[in-house]
């Protein structure tokens, strides 16, 4: 059960299709090519062949419904079972032991949300007094209550745990505010604060201790259809909570982060406010995953850059999706095996030895079932570094995405693209010095747009970083 069921009033967000576009060669491929956003210092294998090997029904505890929410590299799966009367029970599934009830903190309901590679499980459980509290479960110690923020906090929920045993989630403070937290064995539960607004929630943590989620901002503007300003954030011990921005409108939510600091989630797009999936990197900022803006969402990313989530297939059916780092989109079918029903992917493993495990849920003949997909891939040779012309093309794609999402005026975008065209033409003519001078003029113009308030600091810096990374 969502934490907001206990603490927050749900705010509806309506979805619309974003029609904003910018003509030109830089938008012939306006979707994100994942391999272009990887660190230039690291070589990533290209997934030459990706095949769904198997799909497995993980069963139920009650005989009614089940949902898988987390998985580790050993293929151990966690989630929750929902009985006919609506009661929920956290479970751990293994190949050898099947589905096992993890119990509760004394109450009727519990859910497991994540599991690390040590087999430690986090989630929430109702206590004997009916209050939802975050828990940490281990094979040796069972389920342990992680408490709340302060002594008066009513509720908490844990959403993620890394291999160091650090836990993140959301908990109520003494003043009644739901705030993102970081829990450690030595330090207990620590309030991560907000971006200036009332509430925040943490949904993911990597093995470097970097935390992601969403927070309300300090903006006092309220959209009656879509609610408050909520922005995805990245929190670090050194820098605190940083606003990752949006794809042009008031809300974004970060759901997954890998050990390279790459972040995935969903954002409203500028102009019409469609909700779509994004990938954020330090070098390129927030970029849309799909050209079809509405209906795709991203929930988790592993260290290979593979992403899982969901969206609509060519027939309009809701399906779990796996994106590879070469932007191949693999549909993960339902247990029914036809075009009826739905499926959703929420977590994936690290893809060791050519196998990726994906956990989620989908329609079976008996109802909704926790589902485990096994996907194989064949790595080929690492990608070669891009030529300067290709790197300029990448910068142009970023500009195009900023215009498409409403983050940059179309006229200003064309002005930047004209400079990139000039830089490319100079390179093709063998005039490296002129190309470098034009790129310097490009970054100067970006800085001018930032100072004039025409381009956000985060988006402008992403463009400058990408341009400065071009080597000749």
CA distance 307 to 328: 10
**HSE (side-chain half, CA atoms, 13 Å) at 128:** 1
5-9, 156-160, 200-204: least confidently modelled range: 5-9
Looking at the DSSP bridge assignments, the partners of residue 122 are: 114, 136
Average pLDDT of every residue of the chain: 85
pLDDT digits (tens, 9 = 90+) for 20-51: 233 333 332 233 433 333 333 233 344 446 78
Residue 327 pLDDT greater than 60, yes or no: yes
Q: State residue 41's pLDDT score.
A: 27
Which residues neighbour 63 within 8 Å (Cβ) at sequence distance 6 or greater?
83, 84
Query: What is the per-residue pLDDT for 250?
Result: 85
Check the CA dihedral 312-317-320-321 and report its sign. Answer: negative
Q: What's the whole-number mean pLDDT along residues 292-307?
A: 84
Do 261 and 280 meet the contact criterion of CB atoms below 8 Å apart? no
SS3 content of the chain, % helix, strand, coil (to 5): 15, 45, 40
Per-residue pLDDT of 447-457, as tens digits, reads 999 999 999 99
> Mutual orientation of helices 457-468 and 388-404 as an angle, nearest 10°?
170
Q: Residue 61 in contact with residue 91, Cβ under 8 Å? A: yes
Angle between helices 432-451 and 457-468 (to 10 degrees): 170
Least Cα distance to 228 among 261, 206, 252 occurs for: 252
Residue 372 in this model has a pLDDT that exceeds 90: yes
Cβ atoms within 10 Å of 19's Cβ, excluding its own: 10
pLDDT of residue 417: 92
H or E segment and range at residue 323: strand 318-323
Q: Are strands 263-269 and 275-281 parallel, antiparallel or unpaired?
A: antiparallel
| Per-position b or e across 226-238, b if 16+ CB within 10 A of its CB | bbbbbbbbbbeee
Residue 203 buriedness (CB in 10 A; 0-12 / 13-18 / 19+): buried
Q: Indicate the burial class of 472 (C-beta count within 10 angstroms; 0-12, 13-18, 19 or more).
A: exposed
At residue 19, does pLDDT exceed 50? Answer: no
- For residues 191 and 181, give the distance between their C-alpha atoms in angstroms, rounded to a whole number: 5
Give per-residue pLDDT as tens, 106-153. 999 999 999 999 999 999 999 999 999 999 999 999 999 999 998 888
State whether the Cα torsion 67-345-256-377 is positive or negative.
positive
Q: Are 214 and 248 in contact (CB under 8 A)?
A: no
**Residue 246 contacts residue 231 (beta carbons within 8 Å):** yes
User: How confident is residue 382, by pLDDT bands cut at 50, 70 and 90?
Assistant: low
263 vs 260: CA distance, rounded Å: 9
pLDDT above 90 coverage of the chain, percent: 65
Instruction: Examine the pLDDT at 242 and tell me if it is beyond 50.
Output: yes
**C-alpha dist (Å) from residue 193 to 8, 152, 170:** 17, 17, 11
pLDDT band at 289 (very low <50, low <70, confident <90, very high): confident
Query: What DSSP element (H or E) covers 375?
Result: strand 367-382
pLDDT at 379 over 70: no
Task: Please give the span between the terminal C-alpha atoms of the chain, in angstroms, as a whole number.
Answer: 54
- Is residue 166 within 8 A of residue 182, CB to CB? The reply is yes
Q: Cα–Cα–Cα angle for 314, 317, 323, nearest 5°?
A: 65
Average pLDDT over residues 195-215: 96
């Amino acid at each position: 059960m969502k934490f907001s069921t206990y603490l927050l009033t749900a705010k509806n967000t309506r979805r619309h299709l974003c029609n904003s576009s910018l003509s030109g060669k830089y938008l012939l491929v306006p979707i994100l090519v994942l391999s272009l956003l990887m660190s230039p210092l690291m070589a990533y294998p290209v997934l030459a062949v990706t095949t769904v090997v198997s799909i497995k029904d993980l069963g139920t505890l009650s005989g009614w419904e089940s949902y898988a929410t987390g998985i580790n590299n050993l293929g151990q799966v966690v989630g929750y079972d929902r009985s006919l009367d609506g009661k929920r029970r956290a479970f751990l599934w293994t190949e050898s032991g099947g589905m096992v009830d993890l119990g509760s903190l004394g109450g009727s309901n519990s859910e497991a949300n994540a599991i690390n590679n040590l087999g430690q499980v986090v989630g929430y459980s109702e206590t004997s007094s009916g209050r939802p509290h975050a828990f940490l479960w281990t094979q040796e110690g069972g389920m342990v209550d992680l408490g709340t923020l302060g002594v008066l906090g009513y509720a908490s929920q844990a959403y993620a745990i890394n291999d160091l045993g650090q836990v993140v989630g959301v908990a109520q403070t003494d003043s009644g505010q739901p705030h993102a937290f970081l829990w450690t064995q030595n330090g207990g539960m620590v309030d991560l604060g907000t971006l200036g607004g009332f509430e925040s929630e943490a949904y993911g943590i990597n093995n470097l201790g970097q935390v992601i989620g969403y927070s309300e901002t300090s903006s006092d503007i309220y959209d009656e259809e879509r609610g408050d300003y909520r922005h995805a954030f990245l929190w670090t011990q050194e820098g605190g909570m940083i606003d990752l921005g949006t794809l042009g409108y008031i809300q974004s939510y970060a759901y997954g982060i890998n050990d390279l600091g790459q972040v995935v989630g969903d954002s409203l797009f500028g102009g019409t406010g469609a909700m779509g999936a994004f990938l954020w990197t330090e070098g390129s900022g927030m970029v849309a995953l799909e050209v079809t803006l509405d209906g795709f969402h991203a929930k988790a990313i592993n260290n290979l850059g593979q992403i899982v989530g969901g969206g609509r297939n060519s027939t309009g059916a809701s399906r779990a999706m796996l994106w590879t780092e070469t932007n191949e989109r693999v549909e993960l079918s339902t247990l029914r095996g036809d075009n009826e029903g739905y499926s959703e992917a929420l977590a994936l493993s690290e893809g060791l030895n050519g196998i990726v495990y994906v956990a989620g849920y989908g329609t079976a003949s008996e109802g909704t079932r926790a589902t485990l997909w096994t996907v194989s891939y064949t790595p080929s040779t690492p990608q070669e570094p891009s030529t300067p012309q290709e790197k300029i093309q990448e910068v142009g794609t970023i500009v195009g995405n900023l215009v498409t999402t409403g983050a940059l005026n179309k006229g200003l975008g064309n002005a930047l693209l004209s400079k990139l065209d000039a830089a490319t033409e100079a390179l093709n003519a063998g005039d490296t010095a002129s190309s470098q001078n034009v790129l310097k003029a490009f970054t100067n113009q970006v800085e001018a747009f930032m100072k004039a308030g025409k381009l956000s600091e985060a988006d402008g810096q992403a463009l400058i970083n990408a341009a400065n990374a071009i080597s000749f």
